Structure 1
Amino acid sequence: MTHSTQTPAPDTSEAYLRKRRFARECALQYLYQADVQAADGVEPPSLELFWEQVRSLENFLAEPLFEEARSFAERLMAGVRENLAELDRRITAYAENWTLERMSVVDRNILRLAAFELFWCADVPAVASINEAIELAKEFGHQDSGRFVNGILDRMLRERQAETKTSEPGVDGVGEAQNTRVRDKTLHAPGSAPDGDVTREGRAS
């Protein structure tokens, strides 16, 4: 009896795409708020309160997609926070002539999310992680954020491939790269005023 060793094709279903994009947007909002509050010496927002606020939106995902998205989002949130020093070291190493402090809060947290996926999430296609980060940068960042994020992550990907000595044959990232924007609403972190949110222009209004 023979067993197939072929790598399963990426899930390209609309439901999968929506929950992954939703998860990344939620993770970005949470990390953005935590970053802003840390600069003010304030503890990060409570996860439970954060998710209660997300559920209050009219356009949040239906069950069980919401719980699946929440699980992935919390994996990203925890991973970034637990590995923040190493993630920032890698970002700084490839951000030519840029310090983390010079970057917008949106850009640096998108880079942290994508870098965590690249180096700690072997189950996520690398190209999909980069493409999704670029889309987040275009949506929530400033005019040049997409190119800025792409340049740094492209150099990171080459490092990742050098570290593992392998590329990812057969993975084109299409599974997560073709999704459109999940919603038009901006997430408001619990206990914050609207000026502490990620806006589509990538700056606190």
Structure 2
Amino acid sequence: MSEIKSASAAKRPPRQPRTGLTSTGARKAGSKSDRSRAREFALQGLYQSLVGRNAVDDIDTFTRDLAGFNKADSVHFDALLQGCVAEGAQLDALIVPLLDRPLSEISPIEHAIMWIGAYELQHCMDVPWRVVLNECIELAKEFGGTDGHKYVNAVLNGLAPSLRATEIAADRSPTKKPRA
């Protein structure tokens, strides 16, 4: 009996770690924070809103029943989903001047990710601006098109100075003290 187990174990590939990066460069599920998971679920909900024109209450109910939602920050999810849908026109007004093509030509995934980034830059002051950009880039790597993360990065990097000017100025100013 032990020979059978040994033979079948030898044929299996080695177990892959649950943390780290996938082959596309995105973080694996075991490496994600509660807020990162909330952003993923919000992205799925915003996609349903943008593409399917589903009601936000229906999206909310559906999303909360998905596997893994219990590991997400539900308060942050609520803020992102409800806030982005409610302020979609204002978020688009912030994003459109930074686009090199009409908004209708932007993938709904990248559109939703840019909504999340713009919303967080505007309303979630507890999240540093660099974290907002990084999280949105990670979402675009995992769910967007091949180079969608580069486009999302460019747009949100262009938007951040107008929404977080003080934070960015403080972040970019030289803070090193000369040694005596």
TM-score (norm 1): 0.63
1: CA distance, partners of 2:59 / 2:145: 28
1:46 positional shift: 3.9
* 2:168 aligned counterpart, secondary structure: coil
Greater length-normalized contact order (CA 8 Å, ≥ 6 residues apart): 1
Counterpart of 1:148, as a letter, is Y
- Identical columns (%): 30
Alignment pair present for 1:50 and 2:54: no
Counterpart of 1:94, as a letter, is L
Question: In the alignment, which of 23, 35, 46 is matched to residue 38 of structure 2?
Answer: 23
Question: In the alignment, which of 112, 116, 123 is matched to residue 113 of structure 1?
Answer: 116
1:93-134 Cα deviation digits (max 9, x unpaired): 111x22210000100000000000001111111110000000
Indicate conservation of the 8 Å contact 2:113/2:140, yes or no. yes
Structure 2 unaligned segments of length 5 or more: list them: 1-29, 173-180
- Please list, as runs of the form range in 1=range in 2, the aligned pairs for 1:162-181 lying within 5 A after superposition: 162=165, 165-167=166-168, 169=170
Counterpart of 2:162, as a letter, is E
TM-score (norm 2): 0.71
Structure label with greater radius of gyration: 2
1:170 positional shift: 6.3
Report the RMSD for the aligned CA atoms in angstroms: 2.4
1: CA distance, partners of 2:33 / 2:120: 18
2: CA distance, partners of 1:29 / 1:149: 17
Is the alpha carbon distance of 1:89 and 1:47 closer, same or farther for their aligned partners in structure 2, counting shifts above 3 Å?
same
* Structure 1 outlier segments of 4+, above 6 Å: none
Question: In the alignment, which of 81, 87, 95 is matched to residue 83 of structure 1?
Answer: 87
Structure 1 unaligned segments of length 5 or more: list them: 1-14, 172-205
Structure with the higher helix share, 1 or 2: 2
